[in-house]
Structure 1
Amino acid sequence: MGIWNGSAGPLQAVARNLVGTLAGKGHAHTPGGAVSRGGLRERTQLATLLVELWSQTVLARIGGRAVPLGYVPVPVPERLLIAPQDLRTGDATVASEIYSGRFAFAGKVMALDGRTVFELVPPSVEWAEALHGFGWLRHLKAANTTIARANARALVGDFIRDPGKAKAVAARPDVAARRIISWLTQATFLLQDADHDFYRRFMRSLAKQVRQLRRMASDAPDGYPRLIAVVALVFAGLCMSDQPRLLKAAQKRLAEELDRQILPDGGPLTRNPGMLIELLLDLLPLRQAFTARNQQAPAALMNAVDRMMPMLRFFRHGDGAFAHFHGMGHTAADQLATILAFDDARGAPVANAPYSGYQRLDARSLMLIADTGPPPPAVASWEAHASCLAFEFSSARQRIVINCGVPEVHREMWRQVARSTAAHSTAVIADTSSCRFLQGGSMTRIFGAPIVAGPKHVEVQRGTRNNALLLRASHDGYAEAFNLLHQRSWRLALEGNRLDGEDIFKPVEESGALPAETFAIRFHLHPSVTVERLDDPHTALLSLPNGEAWAFAAPHLPLVVEESVDLAASGGPRRTSQLVLTGEVARTPRVIWTFVRTREAQSVPPVRPGRG
């Protein structure tokens, strides 16, 4: 939600709330009323967050532009010059459901029962986002029938007359941007055989929505929502006739956002791998749209795409799924395959992504991806997780160790759990996350739930020794609360049959003492992994669907197998298991653990057809 709309009222309200927060309202104090060091740090983060949000908005509105984007005129176009390609696939069976009056979005199904779909009370915010984003038009286009086309026009006409019960959701910059892109990409389908009245209403509504979006783009939450808003405006400038000033201003703004949000190694500012997929599904058609208009695409757009493509391979496991970090959910295999078809280089993924804060180790069929960075800047941390030093581990096409990820639907229900350190394969101190999130009160209605405190310094070292790849990293996310640093090392054998790990807890000051707090080192397992306990209390046997077997051992601590959940599983959350090592920091400051392959994958002979 934006905090600045051209008047001082909203900003003043935020300032008053912040003053109350800085005065100590709702935060822990030390005896005698003195503010604790951790509390002071958190309040400083909040103040910095407000200043960054305010300055970003002001700069976006007035910074270096002859006519700011929010004031560029958008006349009603006489015609559409091009209709961009939609890389997201359509399903004709969904078109049949829509025609019969059943709208299934975000795990919820609603029937019309004589009403328009926009008159329905949405069962969830996610359902309303999907409805008002109009991405479902691609399914009607996939049917490619006269009935489907008439149905699509009728539904678009219903929205133009009255957006209905979810006007607030429909007006959000990210939802409005998705709707504009959907209308433009499906314009040929919608307008074929359309009468003049619908054509003019469509053009007037499109122009009106673009005007509204160009005023709201600067208020969109940082990260993907702001980027997609600007992308939609560039699409509008390219596709709609009579928009040279809009195209020029939106191009400049897009270049600024891409340079800021796509880091030098190709990762996103938000640190969410899924943002790469979503953004490339629109940037690739945008690049083609410039060619279709016989215009040169901005250098920032070309460079951003070139940087992002290798990172797609960086985050992929052998089965094609992306690693679950910082808001990544289920990987849509068809969408990823479509994007990778545009990758001409098809090279091996990079191993070191220091700007994005990730490291990757590959040894034959084994692959490990680790989060070795601090959380993203507060203004872009709305969906970020407390996952520093968490990792995922796979063998060929079999994922073994994962993080819980986030579900495709009902995200609000799982949000707090999914973002916690305990939902990741790393060490947790005293059941406390390594990051603190803004929670509760009027502040969260404005800021959402960004990270307001967490690791500041993450040190990383890589190397090769004794026929193994080595990776060591440490973070200070627990320094304020518990006066300790967490250091983790991984050693991946080049033979591709063993992963050794070590977790060390060290006091911040060399002469300091470690606290008498408990720790839990968690290894969340993929749902396809079967766990068998052995007589040895320190060991477990892991069986994979391909017949491969692995032994997990931690010689100094008893091993416990607990329930877990794969939130990002296809079809919704799935129950799974986790291996847990617990102890007391002061008594066991060093923990070693090992994954060793004990049986190779079994080759299954091909089935021969029977003779009849």
Structure 2
Amino acid sequence: MTDISRPHGFTIRPEPRSLGSALRGQEIIEGTLRLTGCSVDGDPFTGDAPTGELAAELHGFGWLDDLASVGNAKARDMAQSRVLGWIEAHPKPPESGQDDPAWRADVTGRRLLRWLFHSGQILPGLDKETAQPVFDSMHDQLAYLERAEATTGLPMIEALSGRVIAAMMLQGAGDKVGASMSDLAQAIDASLHKGVLRSRCPEALLGCLSLLGWVKQTASDLAIALPEEIAAAIEEVAPILRALRHADGGLPRFHGGGRGVAGRLDHSLRAASGPATTAQGHAMGFARMSRARATVIMDAAAPPAGPAAAHAHASTLAIEFTSARHPIIVNCGSGRMFGPAWARASRATSCHSTLNLSGLSSAKLLPPDGQGQERLTLLPQKVWAGQCDAEGNVLPADAPPAPPRQAETILSGHDAWLGTHGLTHLRELSLSPDGDQLDGEDTLAALDIDGRGRLAQVLTNAPDGIGFEIRFHLHPDVDVFPEGDAVRLALPGAEEWYFSHDLVATLRLEPSAYLERGLSQPCPTTQIVLSHRLTDDAVQIGWTFVRAGAS
């Protein structure tokens, strides 16, 4: 800690901006902190602490949101104890801390925000002398963020937003507001357009909107002018996230992201001041169907490439399907917080709700490079998706939506296996006007002379045909009951759906896993699998999800 005590106090009364899980908060009080992929018993800042991304999760103090959800005296005592323990273990920022997860710029910004927002839990009961180390540490962390470097994208926005809000809220830091706000405004374009939007990770985009919304709210409370770049970014991001919003308020779990903290999307959208418009066309590369209380979201573009592709998945044409408040079809999610094996496995096409050739994804995962990054290659060269007209032609992505009384359709395809097998995957979806029935048809075909020639060569060496599967990973809250050639799905609240198919393929149920940030281990669930073998130029398989009792 520095020798000179920093000012003691805030410019405005801090209020919690985000809450977590009261259940996890109670577990923390009882001595167990559940991080993604592991549990830490006792004081997490003594003994053998987690490393890597788990350490970043620990030192970012996002779990203070869970304690805030409990909100009793024990929760306040625990929050205070853990913050003071961290300060004792980390009395002074390093000159350069990018190799230490605790001092990564984005982690420091995240930690500073949580300490500010939850200071109502951290400071009560402390006199001025015993509270002084907390203020000293926050000022030291703010000074550290002025020289720390963050990776372009969400990490940079997280670091700079923490710096801006701390400068606005901490007594005696007012002279840092102008430079901090200017740096954030200048970083918006590169971090948003060259980083987050290219990553095609919806949860990362929500993270940006939440952070910028907190900056906007704090500036408004203090009558501080907000740079136009920040206001414009909020107005740009909000319509995209509205287009990606499932019926239950969650986000589609693609390219390394999860559903988002419950309620955060709706709360963050309030930061936008313009009309509640929805982005037209394929928002962030995703196609959406919405009817009544049902939504379907499809990955309708190739996986991201370049620096933004560090967590890309081979999920082209995968879908998620939600009925009212209950997700039905999901993807496995990101396994990078559950260890290397889960990280690699979760990026494969078989961990997504789409068709894959047996043992072959729609993109190849390369071995780690010199920076330890594993990137996808052999991406689909052509991916298309759009509504169908009466003749079955694909309409442009920005075509007006079908009238509400008509079924909503998507005709899509990709050519990932054209070079190796001469094959194209076509997927046609239809969601009924009442949202009670989702029909699908998956086609695997050689569409031209070159493709048929290449397929014939492959079949020469595979007389039994080319195996493939169509997978539907189910949310863990869905109970599954096989009924002959169909499957009954029981959702929470006594709602039931049925899955059936045209009997071309063989139906089976297999174990699956649901991976989500905040879970201490993967959650077991079930997947419906339709398997078949291609022995000719084309095969077509139809399937249906229908709500029980639907006419």
Asked if Structure 1 and Structure 2 have the same fold, meaning a TM-score greater than 0.5 normalized by the shorter chain, the answer is yes
Partner of residue 111, structure 1: 42
Contiguous gaps of at least 5 residues in structure 1? 1-74, 603-612
Change (3 A) 1:227 1:588: farther
Q: Alignment partner of 2:225: what SS?
A: coil
Task: For residues 498-525 of structure 1, give each alpha carbon's deviation from its aligned partner in whole angstroms, at most 9, with x where no partner exists.
Answer: 3332323344864332243332222223
Question: Of 206, 216, 236, which residue of structure 2 is paired with 1:287?
Answer: 216
Report how many residues are paired.
Answer: 509
Change (3 A) 1:420 1:401: same
Which amino acid counterpart does residue 282 of structure 1 have in structure 2?
Answer: L
Q: TM-score, normalised by structure 1?
A: 0.71
Aligned partners of 2:428 and 2:440 also within 8 Å: yes
Partner of residue 463, structure 1: 388
| Counterparts of 2:472 and 2:147, CA distance in 1 | 46
Task: For residues 275-299 of structure 1, give each alpha carbon's deviation from its aligned partner in whole angstroms, at most 9, with x where no partner exists.
Answer: 2333333222111122133222122
Aligned partners of 1:384 and 1:419 also within 8 Å: yes
Where do residues 74-113 of structure 1 align in structure 2 (5 Å cutoff)?
78=7, 81-82=11-12, 85-89=15-19, 103-106=33-36, 107-112=38-43
Where do residues 538-557 of structure 1 align in structure 2 (5 Å cutoff)?
539-545=485-491, 546-557=494-505
Matched, 1:223 2:172: no
Change (3 A) 1:77 1:473: farther
CA apart distance, 1:389: 0.4
Partner of residue 327, structure 2: 399
Which amino acid counterpart does residue 507 of structure 2 have in structure 1?
Answer: L
Partner of residue 402, structure 2: none
Task: For residues 6-29 of structure 1, give each alpha carbon's deviation from its aligned partner in whole angstroms, at most 9, with x where no partner exists.
Answer: xxxxxxxxxxxxxxxxxxxxxxxx
CA apart distance, 1:532: 1.8
Matched, 1:172 2:104: yes
Matched, 1:273 2:202: yes
Where do residues 474-489 of structure 1 align in structure 2 (5 Å cutoff)?
474-489=413-428
Task: For residues 114-167 of structure 1, give each alpha carbon's deviation from its aligned partner in whole angstroms, at most 9, with x where no partner exists.
Answer: xxx433211454542233113345566644688568636632531343789998
Aligned partners of 2:354 and 2:470 also within 8 Å: yes
Matched, 1:501 2:450: no
| Counterparts of 2:501 and 2:27, CA distance in 1 | 51
CA apart distance, 1:360: 0.9
Partner of residue 481, structure 2: 531
Task: For residues 555-610 of structure 1, give each alpha carbon's deviation from its aligned partner in whole angstroms, at most 9, with x where no partner exists.
Answer: 433333323223349955333332323333452623131215373279xxxxxxxx
Q: Alignment partner of 1:383: what SS?
A: coil
CA apart distance, 1:232: 2.2
Partner of residue 8, structure 1: none
Where do residues 3-402 of structure 1 align in structure 2 (5 Å cutoff)?
78=7, 81-82=11-12, 85-89=15-19, 103-106=33-36, 107-112=38-43, 117-123=44-50, 125-137=52-64, 142-143=71-72, 151=81, 154-161=84-91, 168-187=100-119, 190=122, 194-195=127-128, 199=132, 202=134, 205-218=137-150, 220=151, 222-239=152-169, 240-244=173-177, 246-257=179-190, 259-260=192-193, 268-339=197-268, 352-402=280-330
Aligned partners of 1:230 and 1:253 also within 8 Å: no
CA apart distance, 1:77: 6.5
Task: For residues 449-503 of structure 1, give each alpha carbon's deviation from its aligned partner in whole angstroms, at most 9, with x where no partner exists.
Answer: 2334412332222235494322122223333443433222212333544333232
CA apart distance, 1:103: 4.5
Moved more, 413-422 or 174-183: 174-183
CA RMSD of aligned residues (A): 3.9
Q: Alignment partner of 2:450: what SS?
A: coil
Change (3 A) 1:139 1:333: closer
Aligned partners of 1:95 and 1:143 also within 8 Å: no
Task: For residues 507-546 of structure 1, give each alpha carbon's deviation from its aligned partner in whole angstroms, at most 9, with x where no partner exists.
Answer: 4864332243332222223331423242xxxx31323333
Partner of residue 560, structure 1: 508
Task: For residues 314-334 of structure 1, give each alpha carbon's deviation from its aligned partner in whole angstroms, at most 9, with x where no partner exists.
Answer: 334334443222223354324
Task: For residues 413-439 of structure 1, give each alpha carbon's deviation from its aligned partner in whole angstroms, at most 9, with x where no partner exists.
Answer: 521121110001111124111122332
Task: For residues 302-350 of structure 1, give each alpha carbon's deviation from its aligned partner in whole angstroms, at most 9, with x where no partner exists.
Answer: 2322333344443343344432222233543243454356577795855
Q: Alignment partner of 1:226: what SS?
A: helix
Task: For residues 66-99 of structure 1, give each alpha carbon's deviation from its aligned partner in whole angstroms, at most 9, with x where no partner exists.
Answer: xxxxxxxxx9975654566432126789778767
Identity of matched residues, % = 26
Partner of residue 411, structure 2: 472
Aligned partners of 1:108 and 1:123 also within 8 Å: no
Aligned partners of 1:386 and 1:421 also within 8 Å: yes
Partner of residue 394, structure 2: none
Change (3 A) 1:195 1:97: farther
Q: Alignment partner of 2:290: what SS?
A: strand
Task: For residues 361-414 of structure 1, give each alpha carbon's deviation from its aligned partner in whole angstroms, at most 9, with x where no partner exists.
Answer: 123343211110121232112222110001122333443322112369625452
Moved more, 431-440 or 157-166: 157-166
| Counterparts of 1:94 and 1:564, CA distance in 2 | 24
